Structure 1
Amino acid sequence: MKVIKHSEDVLKTALMSKDKKLMKHYEKFGPKEQLLLNEAFRPDSVLFRPITLHSDSDWIASHPEPTQDFEQFYHDPSRTTPTPQKSFIYIQPIGSFGDATVSTDDYMKWLKDYCEAFYYGLTVRILGPLPVSHMGCAFRVNEYTRNLQLYAGDILKYLKKKKPRDAFCIVGVTMIDLYPSESWNFVFGQASLTE
């Protein structure tokens, strides 16, 4: 196993910018926002723990990506921000969640609470559950796992059409495996940053 833990200096470089426009944002942080940002620099933080890689096939090890600091994120042309007209996160449950002891409503309540805490200031609305058969998406049975898999591209197209006008974003949530193309075994999720 390998543990990835960044030093306080590396974290400060990544999270804090010397850009004057961003520094003005930092000065406007309320006590809760300041507390959350400072939590990243505490060595005993319960929110920002080291990342443990269990094998070479873990995503971070097998799919290296360039780093991105907050300033790069802030200036990214594809980054969008909520507005008063687009301030809701819609969550669309897709298919069965398959656990008789915990209902889909319980899972959605937990997810709603988490998203509203993480995306502070945005309101989450849970849409009615959607049977897979109503989506008209392509599917397959994985040759190795024998699990049903849904084609993620069709789900994105469906959600794009269903996205309400006041939505900052719409997110489909399912316990069914996804695949992004025939050549991939599976994918954890897929997103469109521009639609």
Structure 2
Amino acid sequence: MNEAFQPSRNLFGPIIVHSQSDWIISHPEDPQDFEQFFTDRFRKAPCPKKHVIYLQSIGSLGNTRVIREEYIKWLKGYCEAFFYGLTVRFLDPVPVSATKCSFRVNEHTQNLQIHAGHILAFLKKKKPKDAFCIVGITMIDLYPRDSWNFVFGQASLTDGVGIFSFARYDKDFSSSRYEGRVKKPTRTSSSDYTIFDNYYNPEITSILLWRSCKTLTHEIGHIFGLRHCQWLACLMQGSNHLEESDRRPLSLCPICLRKLQSAIGFSIIERYKALLRWIDDQSNDIIGATPSSDHVNLPKPVEAFKDWREWIIKCIAVLEE
């Protein structure tokens, strides 16, 4: 906390408003300090009986099984380092049809979208007994209600469920047009979901992995009870668009970090070291996983994490002084 407010230090910076469309301007919220977080009676914390973060992929996450397996491995490893001390497990992937969700074609992008609220209801029914939370990930765009354009993700603190999409993080998102193929939001027979069978899967680049890790940890942070940050530049800031989302750091500000630490109980320096190992380790296999016959160990694309790595090293140095 002292580091954040010493003028001579530069580990933590202020929130900078770039336009009136920024989240903090267009969605006014009361700030949440540590005391408000800690005394929130609706907040849930992990315990020995509920200590696992489950990840559920919905639809395909890659063009091949090899890419999908590696991408899942990278996301799982990052999540375990970020929420240091908890167990992270991936459930078997499910097709969109399994969720029975409504879907539509967005009138602005002409791209497919699935209903976030219906996905949350599906995940709530699937939540294992030892789960602290279960979160869905998908490459398909999301909408929370008919009147909204889209949402990057949505989470329920009380139910311990969340869903987030990486669709808008791909450079070719806008080229996938489905105009005229879905007339209105629908939720009928399973045969209607064949429209998702050949849905475009983006290339897993370093930028896509960087954005995915950022969204993954932001939405799970909400399930821990962290509200949108209004203190300093922080992962938990809200975002209205991709440019604003990209401006957010991967790091938590000291206030939000203290909130997460109180919920999990990790050593801050050991957590930073775990994140550093994730960036540097190219053999981050899923424990207990059975590789497929065509499995290869693809190099983890961490070029986009270079600044994050240097920042972590500075934090470790300060903590070891």
Counterparts in 2 of 1:116 and 1:99: CA distance versus 1, 3 Å: same
Runs (5+) with no aligned partner, structure 1: 1-11, 13-37
TM-score, normalised by the number of residues in structure 1? 0.72
Residue among 117, 127, 135 paired with 2:81? 117
Q: Per-residue deviation at 1:178?
A: 0.8
Paired letter, 2:59: G
Q: What are the within-5 Å matches in structure 2 for residues 142-181 of structure 1?
A: 142-181=106-145
Q: Per-residue deviation at 1:183?
A: 0.6
Give the match for residue 27 of structure 1. none
Residue among 103, 128, 134 paired with 2:92? 128
Give the match for residue 39 of structure 2. 75
Residue among 55, 59, 72 paired with 2:23? 59
Counterparts in 2 of 1:153 and 1:117: CA distance versus 1, 3 Å: same
2 CA distance for matches of 1:134 and 1:176? 15
Give the match for residue 101 of structure 2. 137
Does 2:25 align with 1:44?
no
Paired letter, 1:153: G
Counterparts in 2 of 1:116 and 1:63: CA distance versus 1, 3 Å: same
Paired letter, 2:98: H
Does 2:63 align with 1:88?
no
Secondary structure in structure 2 of the residue aligned to 1:77? coil
2 CA distance for matches of 1:145 and 1:66? 32
Deviations 1:109-164 (A, max 9, x none): 22212221221211000111111122110001001101111111110010000000
Secondary structure in structure 2 of the residue aligned to 1:172? strand
Q: Which moved more, 1:184-193 or 1:49-58?
A: 49-58
Taking only the aligned residue pairs, the percentage that are identical comes to 66
Paired letter, 1:92: Q
2 CA distance for matches of 1:121 and 1:183? 40
Secondary structure in structure 1 of the residue aligned to 2:55? strand
Relative to total residues, which structure has the larger strand share, 1 or 2? 1
2 CA distance for matches of 1:129 and 1:53? 39
TM-score, normalised by the number of residues in structure 2? 0.45
1 CA distance for matches of 2:13 and 2:61? 29
Runs (5+) with no aligned partner, structure 2: 160-321
Paired letter, 1:67: P
Relative to total residues, which structure has the larger helix share, 1 or 2? 2
Paired letter, 1:143: E
- Between 1 and 2, higher relative CO (CA 8 Å, sep ≥ 6) is seen in 2
Counterparts in 2 of 1:135 and 1:72: CA distance versus 1, 3 Å: same
2 CA distance for matches of 1:40 and 1:106? 36
2 CA distance for matches of 1:72 and 1:134? 38
Give the match for residue 241 of structure 2. none
Q: Per-residue deviation at 1:61?
A: 2.6
1 CA distance for matches of 2:123 and 2:17? 33
1 CA distance for matches of 2:34 and 2:122? 32
Secondary structure in structure 1 of the residue aligned to 2:155? coil
Deviations 1:56-101 (A, max 9, x none): 222223212110011110111111111111110000011123566x
